[in-house]
Structure formats: C-alpha cells, structure tokens
Structure 1
Amino acid sequence: DRAEVVRLIGEGEDVLKRDDDERTALHLAVIGGHKGLVEELLEVEGAETLVMARDEDCYTCLHFAAQHGNIEMVDMLVPAGGEAILHAKTAMHAWTAHEVAKRAGKAEAAKHIKSLMDAKSASKGGLGSWFKSKVRGSSSSSKGRDV
C-alpha cells in the first residue's frame, strides 16, 4: 500500500532492509508492478544505492523489470542507475537486463533496453540528449536495431 510506504519512509524506515531472498522494497515493488511505490522509493535519499541493490542471485530491480517486460519500470529505473545498472550482470549466467528480457521472451523490453545501452555507449559524457529522449519513450530510433 502506497500510503503505508510513504508513512514508513517518513518515519525513517530503512528502505535498504532485505527479505530472505536479499530483495529490497524496490525489488518487490518492481516485481509486483507497483508504479506508485516505485515512484515513492525512487524519491528517497540514497535512491541510487537502492536501485543498484542486488538480490541473492545478483538481480537488480532492472533485471526484474526486464523479466516482466515492464518498459515503464525500465524507464523509471535507468535514470536513477545510469550506465552501471544497464550493464549489471546476474550471478549465475552473467546476464544483463537486456539478456534477461530476451530469455524471458520480452522482445519489446529487450529491444528498448538494448537501445538504451547503445544510447549510453554513444553519449560519452553523461546521459546525453539522445539517451534522455530514449528514456522518455521515443522508440522510433530503435527500429532495426539488433536485439
């Protein structure tokens, strides 16, 4: 419940607290597709650390967004995690979020993440305007790209 999360954050609850699978509240919000909760958690101080947190299999929140094909969540998480989150790899197979999306059969998410990775590589100094436009949802530039 979003109101409960807001209340707990306001009371100083540790948002980096982990469950038995080493997942944070942000992992669980992304897995559950709770956009409002994700928005709240991305507003807390230290959100960069929260976004980069890994569970016991080294999955970041972006890996789960990719696995579920949730492009909207991808676009919420990438600005907070930057290039590092795009290249974070899982433990067992060393998969990036792009590879997780491909293997989960989420072709549109895989294509979108690949375009973000390509954009990030192309923008040498920071997020760059092309990268920012990709995160805002312009997907026309990704047509024909290899996923």
Structure 2
Amino acid sequence: MKKLSILSSIFLASFGMTIAAHSSSTIPLEGGNIAPMKKISIFLQKLVPQVKYNVSCNIHDENNQENQVFIYVDVMATNSNEITLNGKLIAIGEGGGIGKLSKVDNQLIANSLTNWGRTDSALEIQNLDHLDTISVDNCIATPALS
C-alpha cells in the first residue's frame, strides 16, 4: 500500500510538471517566403494535441511603399476564434479573411488554434500580390490562456 501511495505521488508530481511545462513554453513554427500569388502552410504538428494555442508571425514586405499588398489567411483542419493583422480583425470563426499589409513589418495573430492530431492542420497564408514576394518569419505558438 505504501508503494502505491509513493507511486501515485510521483505520477501526480510529474503530471503537474508536464502541464506547467506546456502552459509556459513557446513553440517555434516554420515560416518562409511567399512568391506572388502563392501560399504557404504553417503546420501545427509540433503543438501538443488537443491544446489551444495562439500563433503569431511577422510578415515582412520590403517593397510595400504604397500600402497595396493583400494576403488571404485561413486555417486548415483546425479552428481559430479570430485572426488579426496588426490588431485589425480579418477573420472570425470558420472561414478565412483578407487583410492588407499596412507597413513593412506586420504582425499576424491566430487565436485558439488546436492541433487535432492530423498531419494537415495548418495556418495557411496566401500572397495576393502579383509582383511582391513577402516573407513570414518569427512564428511562435504559445498556449492560450482560455
């Protein structure tokens, strides 16, 4: 009986540390360059299944001097409460949305993304410009608080 009690205590302590590690860690995700009229997928396989994450990425457009580069952002085989670009809402609930890059460095945030254990779960970003290549980098996932 004493061994069972000790084993139970060890299990609960390690389980608590695992939860704390997941809730306090950030996970880097792959970005990349997006050629005109092309898209990339930021896959979510690195994320712990069934846990909600907020994913943020920087989108860089060195040639965006006239403020006319648009992107389309959607989620594949997952869900998101909302997607914002530079603090402006571009999509809520199911379905994607179009956002305009407003400066050279832009911040994209997708809230409450979940890895459902599928290999195709991703945040998808499409460059709608016909001339400029844009880059997506510094993508990180942090556990959502709610």
Q: Structure 1-normalised TM-score?
A: 0.25
Larger radius of gyration: 2
- Structure with greater proportional helix content: 1
- Structure with the bigger RCO (C-alpha within 8 Å, sep 6+) is 2
The structure in which a higher percent of residues are strand is 2
TM-score (norm 2): 0.25
